[in-house]
Amino acid sequence: MRDGRVLSPAAVPVDHLALRRHNLAVVVNRLRADGPRSRARIAADTGLTKATVSSLVAELVELGLVRDGELERDGGIGRPGQTIELDGRVCGLGVEIRPDGVAIAALDLRGTEVIARHVMLDTAGIGAERALDAVAEAVVAAATELRRRGLRIVGLTVAVPGLVDAAAEMLTHSPTLSWREVAVVDGLSRRLTGQVGPVRLENDANLGARAEYATGAAAGCDLVYLSGYIGVGAGIVVGGALLRGADGYGGEVGHLPIGDRSHVCGCGRRGCWETEVGLGALLREVADPGDPLTDMSAPVEQRLAEIRRRAELGDGRTVRGLQAVAASLSIGCSMLADLVNPRVIILGGYFAVLSDFLTPAVETELDRHRLAAGPQGCRIERSTLGFAAACWGGAHIALETVLTDPASTADTAVQTEVLGGTT
């Protein structure tokens, strides 16, 4: 290869069919990164021959993944070329199960959000089976709407706040939802047969990290994403890959024993980090029972806006509460910087909403603590994806198959044609 990089660790021989599948992905990824362009331009950019590109594009059109775009107007002489572009009618779905609701988002192949929905639901209270019923209902409603608009769904990823056993496709334990051993993929696949393509399951912080890696302020960087909600988790991307670990439990920072041991955690132990930086910890610090802030049925955005209002007015208790969170957040971030050496730590969820009260303390601690500043150091950034990050990451994962092996979507194309009649 021109840049001297080698293929994946040499375990599997490559034949000509694999080579063609790989090059199909090359064309799709170039169109995604660079936007619409002519076959001749793709050939020039990739080093593939024009004949090869034409043949690859023909197959991608048949798969419903690319289509003719506008005529090329590059100001040059000669007749304008026909451009090729990604087919915006292909989309991936992400759904997030939160303790107080269900959120859904769909992204098309170009990364544009095509649907976003939220349903309030006491998922922790009603138990897994009834919650999965409600999740399936919300997904079907979204999928129906997407198909009505002519979109084809290539997959669904479910985000959950807890330990995901990647191999068994199960939620092992979520203290936040009070769920244990829930077969989420199996349960939803049964409820959604023929509606959304393959169903996958992933930890919410991992998906937040995946979304930030694709589109956020830290796109393409080694990063740690902190999901700040009732629970706290970390999604870690290094070398372009999510750190999942041997069982899929990687990034489980919420229960690191770095807090004050007088705090009892929902998991039954003491001193977990989450008892100091989780939203519950902040609410306990800043509000008494009966305060509207503690009303779990009110949208979280509204309650956070109220905390922000009080802090801006200089309310002593609110300011002290935020300072306490910032202090503990700083210690955890400093540990993550030492262990992972990310280019960026991204504050997600409620941390993002209140980031101007938290970031300065974290930056000071990172500066004070580190052994040596890296050439570019470690930045602290606020997530711009807000509470949608996990859903977006889920949609990205659903689309990943299309981007890494376009030919594998042939089945979905046929299936959806039968179901939706849209391709």
Which window, 82-90, 239-247, 391-399, 411-419, contacts a copy of itself (CB under 8 A)? 239-247
Q: Which of 199, 36, 81 is nearest to 132 (CA)?
A: 199
Which window, 66-74, 309-317, 347-355, 404-412, contacts a copy of itself (CB under 8 A)? 404-412
Size of the site for a copy of itself (CB under 8 A): 81
Is residue 10 within the footprint of a copy of itself (CB under 8 A)? Answer: yes
Q: How far apart are CA 273 and CA 265, in angstroms?
A: 9
Judged by CB under 8 A, which of 296, 403, 413, 419 binds a copy of itself?
Answer: 403
Long-range (24+ apart) CB contacts under 8 A made by 270-274 are: 273/232, 273/328, 273/332, 274/231, 274/232
Q: Which two tokens stand for residue 36?
A: 């619409």
Q: How far is the CB of 7 from a copy of itself (least distance, A)?
A: 4
Is residue 388 within the footprint of a copy of itself (CB under 8 A)? Answer: no
Angle at 232 between CA 226 and CA 238, to 5 degrees: 35
Residues 40-69 that bind a copy of itself (CB under 8 A): 46-48
Q: How far apart are CA 223 and CA 341, in angstroms?
A: 8
Q: Which is nearer to a copy of itself, 3 or 129 (CB)?
A: 3
Chain-centroid distance of CA 383 in Å reads 12
Residues 262-301 that bind a copy of itself (CB under 8 A): 267, 269
Sheet hosting strand 66-71, strand order edge to edge:
37-38, 82-86, 66-71
Is residue 110 within the footprint of a copy of itself (CB under 8 A)? Answer: no
Q: Which is nearer to a copy of itself, 178 or 294 (CB)?
A: 178
Q: Which two tokens stand for residue 188?
A: 């939803």
Q: Which is nearer to a copy of itself, 163 or 211 (CB)?
A: 163
Is residue 116 within the footprint of a copy of itself (CB under 8 A)? Answer: no
Is residue 12 within the footprint of a copy of itself (CB under 8 A)? Answer: yes
Q: Which is nearer to a copy of itself, 3 or 288 (CB)?
A: 3
Buried b (16+ CB within 10 A) or exposed e, 7-40: eeeeeeeeeeeeeebebbbbbbebbbeeebbbbe
Residues 68-107 that bind a copy of itself (CB under 8 A): none
Q: Which is nearer to a copy of itself, 61 or 335 (CB)?
A: 335
Q: Which is nearer to a copy of itself, 8 or 193 (CB)?
A: 8
Alpha-carbon dihedral sign for residues 55, 61, 64, 65: positive
Q: Specify the pairing of strand 66-71 against strand 37-38.
A: unpaired
Q: How far is the CB of 247 from a copy of itself (least distance, A)?
A: 4
Is residue 257 within the footprint of a copy of itself (CB under 8 A)? Answer: yes
Q: How far apart are CA 212 and CA 385, in angstroms?
A: 8
Is residue 249 within the footprint of a copy of itself (CB under 8 A)? Answer: yes
Chain-centroid distance of CA 338 in Å reads 24
Q: How far is the CB of 259 from a copy of itself (least distance, A)?
A: 12
Is residue 251 within the footprint of a copy of itself (CB under 8 A)? Answer: yes
Q: Which is nearer to a copy of itself, 130 or 269 (CB)?
A: 269
Residues 328-387 that bind a copy of itself (CB under 8 A): 331, 334-336, 338-343, 369, 371-372, 374-376, 378
Q: How far is the CB of 117 from a copy of itself (least distance, A)?
A: 31
Site string for a copy of itself, 153-192 (x = CB under 8 A): ----------x-x-xx---xx-x-----------------
